[in-house]
Amino acid sequence: MDSSSKILSSEDPKNEDHQNEQTSTPSPDFSLVASHSSRGRNNFPQFTKLPPEIQCMIFERTLPPPHILNFAFRVIRPNDDQEVTGIHSDIAKFPGNLSLLETCQISKDTVYRAFRKIELFPFKTDHPVHLTRLHPGTLSYSYMRPSVDIFMCSAMAITDLYKYGGSIGSISSLTRIATHGMYTWLSEKGQFQKKMTDFFEGLFNTIEENCQALEKFNLVIGGTRSWGGTEIQENGKSTKTWRLLEMDEDFRYLDFVASPRGMITSSFYYPEGPRADVDQILNAANRAMDKLEKHVERKQALKDHAAVEYWRKVKVVPAVLGRMEGRKEKEPRLWLPTLKHTLACHEDGSPLDQYKGLAQIFDGASW
């Protein structure tokens, strides 16, 4: 684990002060997370008589479900061939544990044991840089559970950050990481071929050198915006409705429905029809996976056995980012801005299999 990583149990998140050369980041003010009332604390006085172990188990059940931490930041360079001039951070606020932090010491300790601080550290370059925020109230750090939640950031941003000497505290302890920015317009033709190869080589090198505990790596095709520039969800806000839809052999055959908000843009880019959107995304995913395969082959040729073994253990899966829209629909649906489609789904974002049951009834398949 890197020396800059911090565990919540070793610090008081209400009394931190993180500073850099240009700005003073406020202490982790839990007014920035979803607020909950602490009313009715004495409704069940017998609870305090339970063994501490039982109390811990109960409080652990009240922790929020797994979520995506949108660790949004941008490395600022006037031009590709110039030095960086700063970092803009717009990191999503944590969805909330305030009630558990205020209930009792045992509940507070439960939160501190589960969550780890993930912090953005600036560059070590000769060029003057500064750390700024795009929106008031956004932070340069957040909290997540290393083995439960999904850390997501821009592939280009994390590559540039480490290239110029920056780092992300505690990233070495994360087991699930997703990087977005694998766009469908990446081409293997002409001048773009080398840029595309360098892009993926930089990404894969950064991940394997700094993410030692990684178990699953999602290559998110597209970004947090749709082709028309529509934000999937405003940056700096909760990502509780975000879901990752992973792409497997059945992805092409899912029951996608064109979204009204995306019809104009979609028809402009792909006049062949809605299925062309899906094919375009699949082609981008295949190119990304092909780049990983070639990266491992290069490491093998260089006899870098540690890197080869690293990627053998990490499960790499392409995916697209979506947002749950159950409140507006009769059934939960996942809106996929990159595809301009929606998809019937379960509450966790997994596709709703309309034909489930037929194979189980007639073929004896497992449910």
> Residue 10 pLDDT more than 70?
no
Of 335, 90, 79, the residue nearest 222 (C-alpha) = 335
| pLDDT, mean of residues 51-60 | 90
Residue 37 has pLDDT above 50, yes or no: no
- Judged against a pLDDT cut of 90, whether residue 291 lies above it is answered with yes
pLDDT the model gives residue 104: 87
pLDDT band with cut points at 50, 70 and 90 for residue 202: very high
Mean pLDDT over residues 238-265, rounded? 77
Q: Is the pLDDT of residue 308 over 90?
A: yes
Identify the pLDDT of residue 29. Answer: 41
Mean of the per-residue pLDDT values of the chain: 76
Q: What does the pLDDT read at residue 76?
A: 81
Q: What's the rounded Cα separation, in Å, for the pair 213 and 147? A: 9
The residues near 154 (Cβ < 8 Å, ≥ 6 apart) are: 72, 73, 74, 179, 180, 181, 223
Rounded to an integer, the average pLDDT of 231-248 is 70
Give percent helix, percent strand, percent coil of the chain, each to the nearest 5.
35, 25, 45
Q: Which amino acid is at 291?
A: K
Instruction: Flag whether pLDDT at 95 surpasses 70.
Output: no
Asked if residue 200 has pLDDT above 90, the reply is yes
Distance CA 155, CA 186 (A): 14
- Percentage of the chain modeled with pLDDT above 70: 65
What whole-number distance in Å separates Cα of residue 337 and Cα of residue 339?
A: 5
Backbone CA torsion sign across 344, 347, 348, 353: negative
Query: pTM to 2 decimals?
Result: 0.78
Confidence class for position 80, pLDDT limits 50, 70, 90 = low
- Among the residue ranges 147-156, 176-185, 186-195, the one predicted with the least confidence is 186-195
- The better pLDDT of the pair 232, 89 is held by 89
Cβ contact 224:335 at 8 Å: no
| 113-163 confidence digits (pLDDT tens) | 999 999 988 777 666 666 665 555 567 888 999 999 999 999 999 999 998
Give the model's pLDDT for residue 78: 63
Residue 211 has pLDDT above 90, yes or no: yes
